[in-house]
Amino acid sequence: MPPLTAPTAPHDLENQIRGFLAAHDPHTTARLDFLRARFDAGLAWLHYPPGLGGQSLPRGLQPAAERAFAEAGAPDNDPRRIGIGLGMAAPTILAYGTDEQKQRWLRPLWCGEEVWCQLFSEPGAGSDLAALATRAVRDSGDWVVNGQKVWTSMAHEARWAILVARTDPDVPKHQGLTYFVLDMTTPGVEVRPLRQLTGEAEFNEVFLTDVRIPDAHRLGAVGDGWRVAQTTLMNERVAIGGGATPREGGMIGMLAETWRTRPEVRDPASHDRLMQLWVAGEAARLTGQRLSAQLAAGQPGPEGSAAKYAFATLNQQVSGLELDLLGEEGLRYDDWTMRRPDTVDFVGRSPGYRYLRSKGNSIEGGTSEILLNIIAERVLGLPGEIRADKDVPWKDLPR
Amino acid sequence: MSDELLYSEPEEDLRAAVADLLATRAPWSAVLARTGTSEPYDADLWKALGAGIGAAGLVVPESLGGAGASLREAAVVAEELGKAVAPVPFLGNLTATALLLALRESGAGDAADEHLRRIATGEQTAAVAIPFSTPPDWTTIGSLSVTPWPPSAEVHEARLTGRVTSVADALPADVLVVPADGSIYVVPASEARREPVTSLDMTRVLCDIEFDDTPAELLTIGYEPLRLALLAAAAVLASEQLGLAERCLDLTVEYVKTRRQFGRAVGSYQGLKHRLAQLWVQIAQARAVARHAASATGDEQAIAVAVAQAHCSTVAVQAAEECVQMHGGIGFTWEHPAHLYLKRAKSASLALGGPSRHRRRLAELVNLPPSAPTR
Ligand SMILES: Cc1cc2nc3c(=O)[nH]c(=O)nc-3n(C[C@H](O)[C@H](O)[C@H](O)COP(=O)(O)OP(=O)(O)OC[C@H]3O[C@@H](n4cnc5c(N)ncnc54)[C@H](O)[C@@H]3O)c2cc1C
C-alpha cells in the first residue's frame, strides 16, 4: 500500500479512537451497535458538528480516522451502498434541515440503517433540472405529489428520497421549486426497474401518484428548492469526483495491476499511454485531495465540477485502454444477467463492466457538457448561452 | 483510378437490397430481443441474406457457383450489416471463403473448390477457427497439436487436439477451417465442441472450440493463405465499422435535433454541434480509407488495410461513445440501441489486431521505424 499523504490525525484524535476501540471491541460488538456508538462518540464524519456524528474537525482528518478503524478490524458503514445518503442527502440536511430533521435522519443514514435515493431527474428534465414537472400541492398539513422521476439509482433499496417538486407553476422555473424528503414506503410510490447497458438494473423509474408528504419533511423554505438542490448537486460532484483516495486508488490502480502482472500485454505505444493516464490519475487525485482540504469550512463551489469531470474522463480512458491491452480477453464479458445490485459499483467486476459502467460517469450527477458550462460560466465568468426560458413563468414554457 | 473510392451502380443496388432486407427483418428491437436467447445468430436472416441475396457466395468465382464479386461488394454488404449490428456470420464466412480462395491459388485444388461450391449455394457456412483478435501479420502457430507430425502433402487425414478461444461466427458454422501448427485443415463443425462465450459484443457471439483427437483434412501446408484471408477480413471489417459509425451519427443527430433542454434543441449547443461535425469529417475520411482498403491489391493492400483499420476502428468507437453520451440517461439504458453499437464498436476495435497493432505494422510497411537502428 502506498502511503496516504493526508495529514495525520492529531494526537488526541488518535487517543480518542484508541479509547473508543478499547470500550467497543470491534470483534465482539455487533456491527450496528458499533456504528451507532461510533456516531454517538463524534467519530463518524469528523467535520460534522458535535451531536451529529462529528466534532467540527477538518475534513482532511477523515482518511486517517478511517484507516485507524480499518486497521483495528472495525466494521464500516459500507459507503458504496449508501453513497447517495452520505454524499448528497446528508450535506443538504445538514445545511437546510431543522434540528429535529437532523436528529431524525442523520444517524440512521450514516450507520447505513436507512438507504437514500435522489428523485431529481425526470424524462423531460435532466440537464435542465429546473424545468421539472412533478407537482406538489398543499393540502392542509401535507403536500400531495404527482409526477414521474427517472434514472433513480438505488430507489429499490431506499427508505428515503430527496425530492424536488414544483410548488408554484406561475413563476419562472427556478423560483417555483420546493425540496422535500420522501418516505419511499408511502402509498402511491411505485418503483420500476430500468435496465442499463451493463445488464443490471441499478436505476429505476419512480412514479408518484397522490403521494402525501408531511410539511415537516420539507427541507428549506417553500419556493427555495433550487437553492437547496444546488447544495445537493455541488456535493454530489465532490462525492463522485473528489475526496481522498490513495495513489492508484481508482480505476488506474486496476490498469496498473494488469500492466505489472501481465507482461504479455505490454508494448511501447501503450506504455506511453498508460503513463499519460497514470499522470492524469495522480493529478486528479491530488486535486481531489486539495479540494477536500479547501472544503474544511463551508460548502463546495463550482470547483467540484472540475473534479467530477476529470473523474469521468479518466475512468473512460483508463477502462478503454484496459480493454485494448487485454485484446482477446477484452472481447469477453462476465455476465449480462439482469440483477438488482445493492451497491453502486464503479470499478468492480470485469474490465468490460468497467468500460461500460464508466460511460455513465459523464452523464450521472450532471453531464460533462453541463459541468464544462458551469466551469466556463461560474468559474471563468464567461457569458452564458442565450436563455429564452429564464424569466418566463414555468407554465408558459413551450414543451 | 479515383473511381475506386466511389460506389458503382451495381454496388448501390446490392446495398439497397441488403438495406431493405435488414430494415424489415433486423430492426434494432429484434436484434436486441435476440441477445438474451439461446439463438444469438439469426439463422433465417442469414438464409435470406446469404442464399437469397447471395451474400454468402459473393466473392466465390462464378465457375464455382458464386457471384464472382470482389471485396468491394462484400464491403458494401458489411456497411449495411454494421448499420444494423445484424447477428449473421457474414464476416466469418467471408474470412473462411477468402482463405479457401487463397488456398486455391496456392494449389490446394479440389478440396477447396468443393467447399467453395457449397458455400456459394448456401448449403454450408464456414468459419476460420482462430481467435477474433488475431492480426493479419500473426506469426505464432497457435494452440493446436496435430498428428501425424510432420504433415505431408500426400497424407490428407490428420487429427487435431487442443483449444481455440474467442472465435467469431463459428457458432452457426457448418465447417471450420482450422490453422494448426503451421498448416491449414478443415473439420466439420459438428466434430468439434463449441461453447458459446459471454461476449462483450452481444450481436456477434464468440465461442471457444475444443478439439480432442478430432479427424481433420489437410488443405495446405503453410500459413500464407491465412495472412491473405485475415487481410481481406480486416478490409471488410473496416467497412462494417464505417456503417456502424454512420448509423451512430444519424441516430445522434436525429436525437439532438428533437431533444430540448433549457428551451432549446440540445443540438443547438456548440459543445455538441462541433463534436458531431467533427465526427462527420472523420466518417467521411473513414469512407475513403475503407473504400481504398476494399479495392487495393498487391503491396498496396497491406498498407491500405492497416490505414483503414487504424482509422475506422477508432472512428467507430468514437461514434458509438458519442452516441451514448449525447443521448444522456436514455443512452445508458438497455432499452435504447446505443449500447448494441458501443459493444460492437469496442469489440470490433479489438478484432483482427486493433488500431495500435495496425499502426505498428504500418510503420514497418512505410519505413517509419520506431527507434534508431541498433549498431
Ligand atoms: C448511471 C446513472 C445514474 C443516475 N442516477 C440518478 C439518480 O439517482 N437520481 C437522479 O435524479 N438522476 C440520476 N441520473 C440522471 C442524470 O442526472 C441525467 O441523466 C443527466 O442529468 C442528464 O439528463 P438527461 O438524461 O435528461 O440528458 P439531456 O439533458 O437530455 O442531455 C442530452 C445531451 O445533451 C447535452 N446537453 C444538455 N444541455 C446542454 C447544454 N446546455 N450545453 C451542452 N450540452 C448540453 C447533455 O450533456 C447530453 O449529452 C442518473 C444517470 C445515469 C446515467
B59-105 pLDDT tens trace:
999 999 999 999 999 999 999 999 999 999 999 999 999 999 999 88
Residue A207 within any structural domain of the chain: yes
Q: Which ligand 1 atom sits nearest the alpha carbon of residue A127?
A: 29
Q: Is the CB of B332 under 6 A from ligand 1?
A: yes
Band of pLDDT at residue A10, cut at 50, 70 and 90: low
Kindly list the residues from chain B whose CB atom is less than 8 angstroms away from the CB atom of residue A373: 271
Residue A47 within any structural domain of the chain: yes
B194-206 pLDDT, tens digit each: 999 999 999 999 9
Neighbours of A37 (CB within 10 A): 16
Do A115 and A90 lie in a common domain? yes
Q: Is the pLDDT of residue A243 over 70?
A: no
B209: left (phi over 0), alpha (psi -120 to 50) or beta: beta
pLDDT for position A154: 95
Task: State the cell numbers at A50.
Answer: 458535535
State the complex-level ipTM: 0.94
Q: For chain A, how many structural domains are there in total?
A: 3
Residue appearing with cell numbers 428548492: A225
Band of pLDDT at residue A298, cut at 50, 70 and 90: low
Query: Is the distance from CB of A168 to CB of A135 less than 8 angstroms?
Result: no
Do A257 and A224 lie in a common domain? no
Do A210 and A95 lie in a common domain? yes
d(CA A251, CA A311): 10
Band of pLDDT at residue A236, cut at 50, 70 and 90: confident
Tell me the CATH number at A87.
Answer: 2.40.110.10
Do A259 and A306 lie in a common domain? yes
Contact B206 A331 (CB under 8 A): yes
- CA A40 to chain CA centroid, nearest Å: 24
Q: Is the pLDDT of residue A3 over 60?
A: no
List, in order, residues 6 or more apart from A362 with CB less than 8 Å away.
A309, A312, A313, A316, A368, B325
Minimum CA distance residue for ligand 1 atom 26: A126
State the smallest CA–CA distance between residue B350 and chain A in angstroms.
Answer: 5
Band of pLDDT at residue B2, cut at 50, 70 and 90: low
Q: In the predicted model, what is the mean pLDDT of residues A276-292?
A: 90
Calculate the CA dihedral of residues A123, A127, A129, A135 and round it to 10 degrees: -10
Band of pLDDT at residue B375, cut at 50, 70 and 90: low
Q: Is the pLDDT of residue A324 over 90?
A: yes
- Nearest CB among B206, B266, B356 relative to A269 is that of B356
A172: three-class secondary structure by DSSP: strand
pLDDT for position A142: 97
B262-281 pLDDT, tens digit each: 999 999 999 999 999 999 99
Band of pLDDT at residue A208, cut at 50, 70 and 90: very high
Q: Is the pLDDT of residue A254 over 50?
A: yes
Minimum CA distance residue for ligand 1 atom 18: A126
Do A52 and A117 lie in a common domain? no
Contact B166 A332 (CB under 8 A): yes
Q: Which of A76, A94, A113 is the last residue of a domain?
A: A76
Contact B133 A127 (CB under 8 A): no
Query: Is the distance from CB of B95 to CB of B203 less than 8 angstroms?
Result: no
pTM here?
0.96
Task: State the cell numbers at B90.
Answer: 457474414
Residue appearing with cell numbers 498487391: B298
Q: In the predicted model, what is the mean pLDDT of residues A325-350?
A: 90
Q: Is the pLDDT of residue A296 over 70?
A: no
Q: Is the CB of A303 under 6 A from ligand 1?
A: no
Question: What are the angstrom distances between the C-alpha of B123 and each of A341, B59, B175?
Answer: 46, 16, 11
Q: In the predicted model, what is the mean pLDDT of residues B153-181?
A: 95
Q: Is the CB of A121 under 6 A from ligand 1?
A: yes
Q: In the predicted model, what is the mean pLDDT of residues B271-296?
A: 98
Contact B342 A356 (CB under 8 A): yes
Residue A371 within any structural domain of the chain: no
- Provide φ and ψ at B371, rounded to 5°: -150, 170
Q: Is the pLDDT of residue A280 over 90?
A: yes
Do A174 and A260 lie in a common domain? no
d(CA B339, CA B320): 8
Q: Which ligand 1 atom sits nearest the alpha carbon of residue A367?
A: 47
Q: Is the pLDDT of residue A226 over 60?
A: yes
Q: Which of A151, A197, A394 to mutate to test the interface with B (most CBs of B within 10 A)?
A: A197
Q: Is the CB of B325 under 6 A from ligand 1?
A: yes
Lowest mean pLDDT among A154-168, A198-212, B144-158, B214-228: B144-158
Residue A378 within any structural domain of the chain: no
Write out the residue range of the structural domain in which residue A345 sits: 242-366
Band of pLDDT at residue A297, cut at 50, 70 and 90: low
Contact B198 A334 (CB under 8 A): yes
- Nearest CB among B261, B334, B356 relative to A324 is that of B356
Do A96 and A148 lie in a common domain? yes
Query: Is the distance from CB of B344 to CB of B362 less than 8 angstroms?
Result: no
Do A177 and A271 lie in a common domain? no
State the smallest CA–CA distance between residue A192 and chain B in angstroms.
Answer: 14
B253 burial level (CB within 10 Å; 0-12, 13-18, 19+): middle
- Mean pLDDT across chain B, nearest whole number? 95
Kindly list the residues from chain A whose CB atom is less than 8 angstroms away from the CB atom of residue B359: 269
Contact A269 B264 (CB under 8 A): no
Q: For residue B271, what is the nearest residue in chain A, using CA coordinates?
A: A369
Instruction: List alpha helices for A8-161, DSSP H.
Output: 11-23, 31-40, 62-71, 83-84, 90-96, 99-110
B98-111 pLDDT, tens digit each: 999 999 887 767 88
Domain ranges in chain B are 226-365
Residue appearing with cell numbers 481467435: B131
Do A117 and A204 lie in a common domain? yes
Q: Is the pLDDT of residue A390 over 90?
A: no
Return the amino acid letter for B259. R
Instruction: List alpha helices for chain A, DSSP H.
Output: 11-23, 31-40, 62-71, 83-84, 90-96, 99-110, 225-241, 251-261, 268-294, 303-326, 351-357, 368-374
Query: Is the distance from CB of A341 to CB of A202 less than 8 angstroms?
Result: yes
Q: In the predicted model, what is the mean pLDDT of residues B23-29?
A: 97
Return the amino acid letter for A16. Q
pLDDT for position A127: 97
Catalytic residue list contains A202: no
Band of pLDDT at residue A5, cut at 50, 70 and 90: very low
Q: Among B272, B327, B330, B333, which residue has the most ligand 1 atoms within 8 Å of its CB, making it the best to mutate?
A: B272
Residue A6 within any structural domain of the chain: yes
- Mean pLDDT across chain A, nearest whole number? 92
Band of pLDDT at residue A6, cut at 50, 70 and 90: very low
Q: Which of A14, A48, A76 is the last residue of a domain?
A: A76
A85: three-class secondary structure by DSSP: helix
Do A171 and A206 lie in a common domain? yes
Q: Which of A30, A61, A76 is the last residue of a domain?
A: A76
Q: Is the CB of B38 under 6 A from ligand 1?
A: no
Q: Is the pLDDT of residue B289 over 80?
A: yes
Calculate the CA dihedral of residues A228, A230, A231, A232 and round it to 10 degrees: 90
pLDDT for position A1: 36
Say if strands B183-188 and B264-265 run parallel, antiparallel, or are unpaired.
unpaired
> Per CATH, which fold does B226-365 belong to?
Butyryl-CoA Dehydrogenase, subunit A; domain 3 (1.20.140)
Minimum CA distance residue for ligand 1 atom 33: B326
E strands present in B110-256: 126-128, 145-147, 157-167, 175-180, 183-188, 193-196, 207-221
Residue A322 within any structural domain of the chain: yes
Do A152 and A35 lie in a common domain? no
A51-110 pLDDT, tens digit each: 999 999 888 788 889 999 999 999 999 988 999 999 999 999 999 999 999 999 999 999
d(CA B24, CA B51): 17
